[in-house]
Structure 1
Amino acid sequence: MLQPPSPNQGYEHVYIPTKVRLPVGILVHKEFVEGFKATLINRGGQVIEDFDTRKGNTIQDPKYDDYTEHQRDQIAPYIHQSRLEKSLRHIREPVNSSNPHRGKDGIALLVNPAFKYPIHHIQHEHPLLTKFTLTVILNHKLLIHCLYLPPSLDSETIDDILALLPLQYHSTTSTLICGDLNARLGSHTGDSSFNPRGRNVWNWLQSNNLIVWNSRLSFGQPTNYHFQGNSIIDYFISDTEFQSTQLAIRDDRSLSSTHKFMTLTFEVPSLLQRYDDSPLPQRLQWNLDKLKNKNICHQYRTTLEHNLGPLDVDFNSLHDSSSARNLIDRVVEIFSFSQGVLDAGSYSCF
């Protein structure tokens, strides 16, 4: 069952003795400290419980041999802090918040290589949509908006983004909106709170007759777990009914975030259809090597001369056409010329 993350967050060092009398500190998450110690002792190991690296008597570096006890006590906390800073470099990113390479406000779309339908990325012109949305169209049918609305945005900006967000493009039949909106919709989704952002989003949902799949398939199930409380702020929204729809909010997959991993599976029959719903024409292929045969080459020439005999094609006349009628006549002649070449090749070179 889903449950809030443990409030016992953080790391601590577990010190164990070594043969050279210098203890080794192992950095362990607080959730696993007691289990780690018990396992170590059960396997014949030892744990130093009263080892305090902030005390001067723990300093073994020879360069501090001339320091007095008082001086050692003063320098020990700084040495301890230096060791902690080195340890932080080996801790995963959520703890090492000073990582300069960590992303911010980013949206990414990952596509399964087995997905065989065309994907078109929409480049928004408005700076608000460019910054807070990622939009694609699948197979000319399904419009998808990946949306992130950070808590720092004011109410007016939220309304502007939602109003600018296109809910339909040429040829699209369905629209899906997904992402972290930081909006709590209260009783509409089974959340315990209805925040001001939620009112903006709810008015937008109502005015566009949009479907909130969280309400239908995971009512009351939090998407974000925080020590201040749980909330529903990540959504799947659509403008049409999907078939065989399932929404899963996973608590067994860590994203190194308070937000839970969510998946929405559904069927859109129109997505599987070709854009123009017409079969692809079969491409004609000629074996031009056959023209090396004198008999076939002669046959091709004879057929081509026969097909083009009635035509008097002057390509330069296209530039001199004085009327639409003359232009149409020239186009018809060129088409007939092309068809004559095609028929001759098809007759001789297949």
Structure 2
Amino acid sequence: MIQESTSSSVMVVGDLNARIGTHQGTPVSKDHAGKFEMLIRAAKDIKVDTNGKNVIEMCEDNSFTVLNGRTQSGGDESYTFKGGQAVSTIDYCLINGMWHNRIDDMQVVPETFSDHLPLAIQIDLRAQPNPHDNKLLPKLQWNDRYRQQYRAQLEQKSERQDCQPEAPNIETLTNWIKIAAACMQKPTHYTRKQPWFDSECHRARQRSMITWKRSLHTGNADEKREYQEANTAFKTMCRKKRTTTIGIWSLK
């Protein structure tokens, strides 16, 4: 459903039968402090199972934010399943796109209509999407083996800065971190999650993600249109590849 959706803003709510532990989903920026009280998710259920790993992967692939354990009313990330002595969190609300700006609150309601507790989500339909409210935080790969090298580079740049009359600004500090962390960054290779997902699909997905991030950053209408075209092209390609592969299997 997500792959075939033409919308850049999706909300997934319900029983995913998955335990994702303390996984954070896409990090929420400080711009969301008014909406999401908990920038770091709270989680009572810390176990991660096989289905949970698949959900985590889906969140990363589609830039979903896991809303459980982030909001004011749901800050303690209550269990959503209670069956006998067993308790767990397997029901979630995942959001991306404009929903970051329109969700006011979410909580697990202590009603025992079944062994699953309902999720109550408060949505402000009057709020206008703000492209600058859902920027992704930059994420660098970390490898503990390079900790000392990373630290030495930062200290070296800091010592040089001590000779300057002015303190470094945010852009300068960010650039220092990127340079110091360069030794940890490895070229990413696509993982064939489905038999039909080939390098052509991977390139189309990369283009879709790049244009999406650029449209969020600029808020430009042309950039948004470019993202929608790239995203539609990617999903159309995936549908064709999947259909062709299933067709070949059927003939065999």
Q: Does TM-score exceed 0.5, indicating one fold?
A: no
Normalising by structure 1, report the TM-score: 0.27
Higher relative contact order (CA 8 A, sep 6+): 2
Name the TM-score, length of structure 2 as normaliser. Answer: 0.37
Q: Which structure is higher in strand share?
A: 1
Look at both structures and tell me which one has the larger radius of gyration over its CA atoms.
1
